[in-house]
Structure 1
């Protein structure tokens, strides 16, 4: 494998000699490696891109090139350091953005940004605020981006698309589990109309499409040693959608007091303190750019994204656990119940969430 990695890395326009290539992290989707070179030249990130998840890797890489070049220009205009405050894609020696090996696998390289800090979990309001600031800054840097972007994952966060899949899964009942799930199916159906009403605003352009990251967990943000946001990484899912999706997905991730698959539902809920902190960070960067219809639906986005996840876990359980990796037979059902408890907690605190958003947006618009 090492020889293969050396050969693959050598296809890219790297500076310096390759000294070592080692596995980096435990990604769920891509395989990631760190390329070390000699003193005075950059180190690099080498990734095998998952073509099952991303069926058009070259188009995805073109998205990343466009977005990162735009961010680099913005950073330079602001007097920052584009080498550290933006990802840099390294082309192949032939000028392509990715390399396809003899087995048909796609590989891509970017510069490794050293001397940084990253976190696997936002475990304090201060860190939640910085996470919101990071995603808000990323969206703000791309607010004037007007180039077309490919849809790297079809129907991502499109609840109308999810309902088509849901209805088909119910009709199939592939694992013969539907009969025992009347209550859980009811959770989905009783909220169907309000979720479609929200998505209709997106489809009609009332809520505008903007450049979104679509994977806003905190470990996709790099910080410097002083704790300041440097840049957002892992841009495979960058495409156009509503900014609200990024906000809602972050709240689902940052603010859950339990685990995504927690068996103890008493532990699961939404921390309003963490919500307030993330909202403060996010709107400090974005309030002046968002339309009032966007800020009016910001809190609802947390309900929307969490609901979508309840639907997807339950749908996969009904379908026989074909999409998500499971550790035991009821894993997807446990995930469904835990996410539903989070959704209930969000719904219970929704008026307070709306008040926090309105007050914070007003503060940063003036």
Structure 2
């Protein structure tokens, strides 16, 4: 066993003796491990939080505590199992929500939810629909949440903030890559006004803000063996924003016929079948709580979030790959081009997307 990881894990109020600690997944941002315990004691998830991205980890963990406790009360009231249907934060032995090691890194622990299934992508319309049910239910559970939340990543889905970063990136050209990426830079600039016009509606309150997850890819859901959404995980980015961010980001990942970093752009596009299935699941849980403006911009939110991701991948490439983990020197550029192909597919099918939303809104608002 890794003695350092054992020492860190021992700072938390765990039941049982630690048997082993093994890596889990390959996250872009954090490092995640499973703590295996001896005998009948539960296992746990141990995670190193990326301090370069999350500047105030204690505040982030306080957000997670507030939101999970709110959902836990809802689950208990509904007769569910709160240790399977909502994350449980494990405090340190001194009662803190995270541990800071000797190197200044922050670590957090949660209860491991056993006998679950995870997916890297939605491989069927039925699974996409279940994902829609999951995030729709999550937002519905938090519709009456009224506690303040810290902004864990300032301006996370705020395109005005992103453009301020973008303009600095172009002016500095830190990695000397702007000239070679002139075409890709043009993709961003051609849509600047349209994206700012949408975000202005959020700034003015026409599109309201709620508690949102802000990273709704399918790998952030645990499913039971019957294929039902069991629990929403990875709540590091939970904060107040428009609920449209969650919808749009889910479509960006669920309905993509290719991979997020696909080098073969012929494989990349948005599946209308998957879009409709996800939207059906989402609105089945949350349609009546959405405002008229939210319904009107539901389809556009997929274009907005996908555009933002094109910008962020390209910006990281131009900055010299300082944010996302990469597997090759051009990984962020590959991601940029794949996400742009997905965006173009959405633009080409936008009329059909809007019609599907109208029909499903009518179905669930009768």
Q: Same fold (TM over 0.5)?
A: yes
Q: Quick one: structure 1 residues 222 and 181, their matched pair in 2 at CA, closer, same or farther if it must change by over 3 Å?
A: closer
Q: Is the 2:124–2:274 contact (alpha carbons within 8 Å) kept by the matching residues of 1?
A: yes
Counting only pairs closer than 5 Å after superposition, residues 257-336 of structure 1 correspond to structure 2 as: 257-336=257-336
Q: Quick one: structure 1 residues 294 and 166, their matched pair in 2 at CA, closer, same or farther if it must change by over 3 Å?
A: same
SS in 2 for 1:211: strand
> Corresponding residue for 1:250?
250
Is 1:41 equivalent to 2:41 in the alignment? yes
Tell me, in whole angstroms, the C-alpha distance in 2 between the residues paired with 1:315 and 1:154: 17
Q: Quick one: structure 1 residues 257 and 179, their matched pair in 2 at CA, closer, same or farther if it must change by over 3 Å?
A: same
Tell me, in whole angstroms, the C-alpha distance in 1 between the residues paired with 2:101 and 2:173: 39
Q: Quick one: structure 1 residues 126 and 104, their matched pair in 2 at CA, closer, same or farther if it must change by over 3 Å?
A: same
Q: Quick one: structure 1 residues 56 and 76, their matched pair in 2 at CA, closer, same or farther if it must change by over 3 Å?
A: same
Q: Quick one: structure 1 residues 175 and 15, their matched pair in 2 at CA, closer, same or farther if it must change by over 3 Å?
A: closer
Q: Quick one: structure 1 residues 187 and 36, their matched pair in 2 at CA, closer, same or farther if it must change by over 3 Å?
A: closer
Tell me, in whole angstroms, the C-alpha distance in 1 between the residues paired with 2:355 and 2:258: 24
Q: CA RMSD for the aligned pairs?
A: 1.7
Q: Is the 2:127–2:227 contact (alpha carbons within 8 Å) kept by the matching residues of 1?
A: no
- TM-score normalized by the length of structure 2: 0.95
Tell me, in whole angstroms, the C-alpha distance in 2 between the residues paired with 1:61 and 1:90: 11
Deviations 1:147-195 (A, max 9, x none): 0111111110110011111222222233444345444333222211111
Q: Quick one: structure 1 residues 110 and 166, their matched pair in 2 at CA, closer, same or farther if it must change by over 3 Å?
A: same
Counting only pairs closer than 5 Å after superposition, residues 199-278 of structure 1 correspond to structure 2 as: 199-278=199-278
Tell me, in whole angstroms, the C-alpha distance in 2 between the residues paired with 1:213 and 1:125: 22
- TM-score normalized by the length of structure 1: 0.95
Tell me, in whole angstroms, the C-alpha distance in 2 between the residues paired with 1:8 and 1:333: 36
Deviations 1:264-296 (A, max 9, x none): 322221110010111111111110111111011
Q: Is the 2:29–2:325 contact (alpha carbons within 8 Å) kept by the matching residues of 1?
A: no
Q: Quick one: structure 1 residues 325 and 40, their matched pair in 2 at CA, closer, same or farther if it must change by over 3 Å?
A: closer
Counting only pairs closer than 5 Å after superposition, residues 31-180 of structure 1 correspond to structure 2 as: 31-180=31-180
Q: Quick one: structure 1 residues 10 and 267, their matched pair in 2 at CA, closer, same or farther if it must change by over 3 Å?
A: closer
Q: Quick one: structure 1 residues 90 and 327, their matched pair in 2 at CA, closer, same or farther if it must change by over 3 Å?
A: closer
> Corresponding residue for 2:347?
347
Q: Quick one: structure 1 residues 17 and 266, their matched pair in 2 at CA, closer, same or farther if it must change by over 3 Å?
A: closer
> Corresponding residue for 2:19?
19
**Unaligned ranges ≥5, structure 2:** none
Tell me, in whole angstroms, the C-alpha distance in 2 between the residues paired with 1:258 and 1:231: 26
SS in 1 for 2:289: coil
How far apart are residue 329 of structure 1 and its match?
4.3
**Unaligned ranges ≥5, structure 1:** none
Q: Quick one: structure 1 residues 13 and 228, their matched pair in 2 at CA, closer, same or farther if it must change by over 3 Å?
A: same
